[in-house]
Amino acid sequence: MTAPMTPKGVAELLVRYRLPKELLLPLAQVLVTGDREILMEPAAVLCAQNEPADALYLLLEGTLEVRRRDFRNESRVIAEARSPAILGHMALLLSKRRTAALSAGRSGARVLALPADAVHQLNESDTAAGNALRRLILAALLDQHHRAVVDLLHTSGDTDLSLPAGWVQVEG
Amino acid sequence: MSELIPLIPELLKLRPFAGVPGPALHNLLEATTSRTLTRGEVLAEAGTKADHAWLVVRGRLGLEAGSSAHSIGEVWPGEMVGEESVWGTATTRVSTIRATQDTLVLQIDRGTVGDASLAANPAMGALQRHMMRISTRRLHALDNARHRALVASHTFTEPPPDLDEASEPSTPLTWLRALFGGDR
């Protein structure tokens, strides 16, 4: 099922990743060119584990469950992504197969899928649109990176390896 | 104007700027500053406000975390540190950054990254693509380390086929090290 995209979701993505509103216009232009908006019913599958990465996903509404098969080949939920968020960028940038499956959560989801070809083309272009998309993806990657570091320092169980004094929780 | 402009030929040899036109790099450098550090000097302390990123031009930086200042990585010429505060969402530093040699760095802030006149600048684009590659590989390395730890924590009659028996044991410290330093 497809529907026209609303700019609202894009604006919320910018807020989520602490990006300036000046990126709204170039980003909206990128996302309405060759994009696909997908309205997902609860539990509907967006992509499967091990399939080739053919799109970047922008979660505009709802939630997506991130599932991975364990060594008994049982599918397990390893995370839940809440809107607004970017997903699927790792496999796309590494040109690898999906390491996890994505399916809509209990309330369903609204997702914008930006085709891999368009992502790669924009990533290589030195234009305002390319800059806007790179900044969005980079913000998502570095947010993941920072949270992983904080999580490791917070949960290491090693008193010598803990968060520094004066550390402040990141919003969002 | 950046003191680094005379060093453009040297900067163009660094991996992030390989293939970038000199005039584009010149325009980027005009929007940045540089800092010179002597060996042992602290560039930023863990727990303080994070509002700059630094690209090492010459020398070397060391990263430390925790109350015992565990070494979690090194930053070599052509590599960047602190990028999560100017391109990402971080507001507080989690590691202390110290010069382990006399070091020259290019200093970038959110103003530079958001400068509209640099939106189509090939040097800025090259820097962004470089950071995307490094960040993606770091996160992938962490994912692999977690995967190995998950495997190690289970008892199976047959080891799973992708278990790398030669890899070092995963600990929070080895995981952290996977998230810092350069793409070496």
Q: Is A137 on the interface with B (CB under 8 A)?
A: yes
DSSP bridge pairs for A39:
A110
Whether residues B140 and A149 touch (CB distance < 8 A) is answered with no
A4 falls within a domain:
no
- Determine, for residues A165 and B135 on separate chains, whether the beta-carbon distance falls below 8 Å: no
The per-residue pLDDT for B1 is: 55
Residue A171: what pLDDT? 47
> What residue ranges do the domains of chain B occupy?
5-178
Residue A107 maps to a domain? yes
A94–B137: do the CB atoms touch at under 8 Å? yes
Q: Please tell me the predicted confidence (pLDDT) of residue A126.
A: 96
The Cα–Cα gap between A89 and A55 comes to 8
Number of Cβ within 10 Å of residue A107's Cβ equals 11
Alpha carbon distances (Å) from B152 to B32, B146, B163, B165, B168 = 47, 10, 9, 10, 11
Question: A142, B46: Cβ pair inside 8 Å?
Answer: no
The H-assigned helical ranges of B104-171 are: 110-113, 122-152
**Structural domain boundaries, residue A70:** 10-155
Q: Does the CB of A163 have a partner CB in chain B at under 8 Å?
A: yes
Please enumerate in sequence order all residues whose Cβ is within 8 A of that of B45, keeping only pairs 6 or more positions apart, or say none.
A164, B93, B96
Contact A164 B93 (CB under 8 A): yes
Cβ contact A90–B136 (<8 Å): yes
Residue A63 lies in a domain: yes
Output the CA torsion sign for A146, A147, A152, A155. Answer: positive
Structure confidence at residue B179 (pLDDT): 74
Q: Does A78 touch chain B (CB under 8 A)?
A: no
How confident is residue A108, by pLDDT bands cut at 50, 70 and 90? Answer: very high
Write down the pLDDT at residue A5.
47
Give the pLDDT score at B67.
73
Q: Where are the beta strands (DSSP E) in B22-168?
A: 33-37, 42-44, 52-58, 61-65, 70-75, 80-81, 96-99, 103-109
CA distance A40 to A61: 10
Interface test with B, best of A16, A27, A149, A153 (most B CBs within 10 A): A149
Residue with tokens 């100017």: B86
Q: Do A20 and B175 touch (CB under 8 A)?
A: no
Q: With respect to residue A160, please indicate whether it lies within any of the assigned structural domains.
A: no
| Residue B115 CB partners (closer than 8 Å, separation 6+) | B31
Could you identify the residue written with the tokens 């929780």? A169
Q: Does A41 touch chain B (CB under 8 A)?
A: no
pLDDT exceeds cutoff 50 at A111: yes
Q: ∠ CA B48-A81-A12 to the nearest 5 degrees?
A: 70
Would you state the structure tokens that stand for residue A32, as one six-digit string? 């309405």
> How close is the nearest chain B Cα to the Cα of A88, in Å?
12
- The shortest CB-CB distance from B84 to any of A130, A132, A146 is to A146
pLDDT of residue B152: 63
Residue A2 lies in a domain: no
Question: CATH assignment of B5-178?
Answer: 2.60.120.10
Q: What is the pLDDT of residue A2?
A: 44
Q: A16: Cβ–Cβ under 8 A, 6 or more apart, which residues? A: A84, A85, A172
- The stretches in chain B having pLDDT less than 70 are 1-2, 147-170, 181-184
Asked if residue A34 is part of any domain, the answer here is: yes
Q: B129 vs A134: CB contact, 8 Å cut-off?
A: yes
pTM for the full model? 0.87
Interchain proximity A138–B131, CB inside 8 Å: yes
Nearest CA to A104 among A144, A47, A146? A47
Q: What are phi and psi of A136, to 5 degrees?
A: -65, -45
- What's the pLDDT at B5? 85
In whole angstroms, give the CA distance from residue B101 to residue B79: 15
State residue B165's pLDDT score: 47
Token output for B79: 């590599």
Looking at residue A36, what is its pLDDT? 80
Is residue A168 one of the residues assigned to a domain?
A: no
Q: What confidence category does residue A4 fall into, taking pLDDT thresholds of 50, 70 and 90? A: very low
Answer yes or no: is A140 within a domain. Answer: yes
Mean pLDDT of chain A: 85
* Most B CBs within 10 Å, among A146, A154, A158, A171, to test the B interface: A146
Reply yes or no: is the peptide bond before residue B160 cis, omega within 30 of 0: no
Query: How many domains does chain A divide into?
Result: 1
Q: What is the pLDDT of residue B168?
A: 55
DSSP structure class, residue A5: -
pLDDT for A8-48, tens place per residue? 688 898 999 989 988 988 888 777 765 688 999 999 999 99
Cβ-contact B58, B169 below 8 angstroms: no
CATH number of the domain to which A15 belongs: 2.60.120.10
Checking if the pLDDT of A70 tops 70, the result is yes
- Token pair in block for residue B120: 């189509």
Which among A101, A122, A92 is positioned nearest to B133, based on CA atoms?
A: A92
**Inter-chain residue contact A170 with B179, CB threshold 8 Å:** no
Inter-CA distances, A87 with A64, A164, A170, B61, Å: 9, 30, 20, 32
A157 to chain B, any CB pair closer than 8 A? The answer is: yes
Contacts of A165 in chain B (CB under 8 A): 47
In this prediction, residue B137 carries a pLDDT of: 87
Q: Is the pLDDT of residue A81 over 80?
A: yes
What is the predicted pLDDT for the residue at A6? 46
Contact A146 B151 (CB under 8 A): no
Helix axes A116-124, A128-155, angle to 10 degrees: 100
Greatest pairwise CA separation for chain A in angstroms = 52
Using an 8 Å CB-CB cutoff, list chain A residues near B119.
Answer: 26, 127-128, 131-132
